[in-house]
Amino acid sequence: MSYKLMKIVVSQIDQTSSDPKLSKDDINELSGLLTEFYKKDDSEGMNMDFVLESSALEKLDCFMNKVKIELTMRSRTAKLWLLFQEYVGFIREFVGCERIKFFVGHLDATTNFLNLFAATGHAFYAKSARLYLQKMRDLPNTHPNLYAQYCNENTHAVQRSGHVWNGLWTDLTIEQTLMSRLKGRGGLTHGRGLTESVRHMWIYTMHHFAQFHDAMTSLTGKRHKSSEQHTEFGESRRARDTCDLTKLIAWFDKKDPFDLELTELMSLSTGLTATQQDNINCDEAESVGYQIQIRLDNCTYESASMKRT
């Protein structure tokens, strides 16, 4: 989806900017970078210096930023969709950092969500994420050993196998393992009860029964054998993603969010347009959230509050 939105932005360059366009040499260099990138594999360590040192790529990035600024100033609908694209990028960054267990990137990605949490009225998320980041960024002083494990040994996420791109969030792992067994057959919610003694007995014996289960599955040959390739890289998953992408591209071909004739904020699906009297400011989510975050400075968690409006 981000690819399609960026393609639409590129198509508007002639209408939004009077700056000199990329030269033919710049375009050839960018084409060569793309070809070189797809030739790279894990055995070469994915050295990205050849990309970072590209003057053509830097020129393209500056040019695209100018185009986005002009689109933002001329159309509220374009501003909203550019903001949406930015938030999708934040989500992709967060998921990627969890998958590869990159702790510093995880903190940076979480920081990007603070303003959105505040602007959309998710007070507990906004306050809790803010407190979490403060504690995590202070780990080098409070718990240097734990910080070293997170950064050097990549232990802030859970990895249940040695496959690539399979880091899991800790809360997701709890839901998939502990909670699923607690609610399933032989768990606490189906017959055993939830008294304190039963809970302690069940928790303290879980790892022993896990060893028995692992030994029996190995003995009977029932152990699940997964592919060395992650499921998200499989042929069926890629085919489904391609099909979904094709549908989105077809939809955006009919409903252009970057139509420069559309200066007001409009719903692309219904055609409804917001007026000044409606007081709709979803395209200002980042600035609104930032102002709310400023008001939370020097407040304790209990005293910090924000209005839903």
Say what the pLDDT of residue 55 is. 84
Say what the pLDDT of residue 56 is. 83
Say what the pLDDT of residue 12 is. 57
Say what the pLDDT of residue 212 is. 79
Q: Which residue stretches of the chain have pLDDT < 50? A: 42-43, 45
Total Cβ atoms within 10 A of residue 201: 12
Say what the pLDDT of residue 168 is. 86
For 10, 30, 73, 79, 282, the CA distances from 61, given in Å and listed in that order, are 11, 12, 19, 18, 26
Any idea where the domains of the chain sit in the sequence? 1-74, 75-166+275-309, 173-226
DSSP string, 211-262: HHHHHHHHHHT------SS-GGGSHHHHHHHHHHHHHHHHHHHHS-TT-TT-
Say what the pLDDT of residue 107 is. 95
Give, rounded to a whole angstrom, the gap between the first and last alpha carbons of the chain.
30
Burial class (CB in 10 A: 0-12, 13-18, 19+), 215: exposed
Say what the pLDDT of residue 40 is. 61
